[in-house]
Amino acid sequence: MAIQFNCVSSMLILVLLSISSVEGQGGGGGGVIDVVAKFGSKADEKRDLSKPLLVAWKEACATTSPAKIVIPKGIYFLSTATLDGPCKAPIELQVEGTVKALANPGAFKEPKWITFNRIENFKLFGGGLFDGQGTTAYKREGCKNHDYCGSLPINLRFDFLTNAMIQDITTKDSKQFHVNPKHRWDSHRGSDGVNVLNSEIKTGDDCVSIGDGSKNLVINGVTCGPGHGISIGSLGLFKNEEPVDGVTVKNCSFTNTSNGVRIKTWPGAERGICSNIHFEDITVTNVSSPIIIDQKYCPWNKCKINEESKVKLSNISFKNIHGTSALPEAVKIICSATLPCENVELADIEITHSGPTGPAVSQCSNVKPKVSGKQNPAPCSAPLPAKPTPTT
């Protein structure tokens, strides 16, 4: 299993594998470094693991031979840590125990708890758990009087990584995103060549949230629920967003989620491009909106809902998607009147709904999808309501 998520957080998740390129250099030894045996760290949930981990990382990163750092079984407290590269050889972090963050969200001045930065040939594994202790943060108490709410920490950040693998790790109760591979927090540049494989995600927001600039992304074998589904976007909110190009979501299942597979863009905002998006072999069980393109995405009514989206969507396919919808509107493809969706394909769709509100229906706007195979509900057969229900 590539990554296991056992998440109760009400925030977002974005996951896994490689980002940008970094160059290494020359140095001494290698081997295995046990942070308990060598640096006297204790699994007592009181002593801060930060300093022993940083010292071990510095030593391992400086060697010219492959090195591994081990956090043994036990429960540890870690305030915050940024593990910087470039390292001189491949490096691994084997986490067998549970690592806990500070519960108080006000203790974090930056949006990060544990960050891996500018590393090439890195592996994080071991069956361990990262517990962000985010329950207090979900209440948002004190936000009017404090600035910490704008900088709630991500459990695991991966910035500027190349050839990285995160495997058999659980992240729990993050105060914000669980896992975020990104170039920079304050940049809109996304990731290239990321694979999210065989993962279980349970959250209060998007199971996987795909931002602008994401390219060549593969999501395969993800189990999502509860949550808001796997979402591209929202797009078009900020100036100078980079295109999303090349996303494949395959062999995934959704249970009791608010959405299944989704693309969402803001109306009346900024220009953007999203293309070459493929959703295939998807199972939905009691999902409110199993298939959805929403170019009128307007949560909390904070947008220019009467204007059209300026994000161009093209080359999008939904193939072999089956299961049950919690609401009649099983398929919703709501595109921009200014920039209609191009080359959208619906193939072998079988989604049913049973209830007093009637069978499953399909709604379309500003799109002429190519249709093949079995189609239930009949594509684009139902009228749009005067006021569509906002999605989250």
For residue range 59-91, what is the model confidence (pLDDT) as tens digits? 999 999 999 999 999 999 999 999 999 999 999
Q: How far is CA 137 from the centre of its chain?
A: 19
Contact assessment for residue 250 and residue 225, using Cβ atoms and an 8 Å cutoff: no
Q: How far apart are CA 218 and CA 206, in angstroms?
A: 16
Q: How many CB atoms lie within 10 A of CB 298?
A: 18
- State the burial class of residue 94 (Cβ atoms within 10 Å of its Cβ: 0-12, 13-18, 19+): middle
Q: How far apart are CA 255 and CA 46, in angstroms?
A: 38
Q: Which residue has the tokens 């594509």?
A: 379
Known active-site residue 228: yes
- What are the backbone angles phi and psi of residue 26, rounded to the nearest 5°? -100, 155
Q: How far apart are CA 250 and CA 321, in angstroms?
A: 10
Q: Is 321 helix (H, G, I), strand (E, B) or coil?
A: strand
For the chain, the residue count is: 392
SS3 content of the chain, % helix, strand, coil (to 5): 10, 45, 45
Tokens representing 293?
């393109």
Q: Is 263 helix (H, G, I), strand (E, B) or coil?
A: strand
Looking at residue 147, what is its pLDDT?
60
Contact assessment for residue 56 and residue 92, using Cβ atoms and an 8 Å cutoff: no
Contact assessment for residue 333 and residue 368, using Cβ atoms and an 8 Å cutoff: no
Q: How far apart are CA 299 and CA 242, in angstroms?
A: 22
Q: How far is CA 100 from the centre of its chain?
A: 21
From 188, 228, 322, 353, active-site residue: 228
Q: How far apart are CA 220 and CA 368, in angstroms?
A: 28
Looking at residue 304, what is its pLDDT?
81
Nearest CA to 364 out of 327, 319, 328, 334 is that of 334
Q: In what order do the strands lie in the sheet with 75-77?
A: 75-77, 98-100, 129-131, 170-172
| Domains 31-137+151-182 and 187-381 equal at CATH topology level | yes
Longest dimension (CA), the chain: 71
Tokens representing 335?
């595109």
Query: Which region holds residue 30: left if phi is over 0, alpha if psi is between -120 and 50, else beta?
Result: left
Domain borders along the chain are 31-137+151-182, 187-381
CATH tag, 187-381 = 2.160.20.10
Looking at residue 302, what is its pLDDT?
76
Average pLDDT value for the chain? 88
The angle subtended at Cα 134 by Cα 128 and Cα 135, nearest 5°, is 120
Looking at residue 355, what is its pLDDT?
80
Task: State which H helix or E strand residue 248 sits in.
Answer: strand 244-255
For the chain, report the end-to-end CA distance as a whole number of angstroms.
29
Predicted TM-score (pTM) of the model is: 0.88
CATH tag, 31-137+151-182 = 2.160.20.10
pLDDT along the chain (392 residues), means of 10: 34 33 41 91 92 96 97 97 98 98 91 96 97 88 65 93 95 94 59 94 94 95 97 94 97 98 95 98 98 92 87 98 97 97 98 90 97 97 77 73
Paired residues of 94 in beta bridges? 70, 125
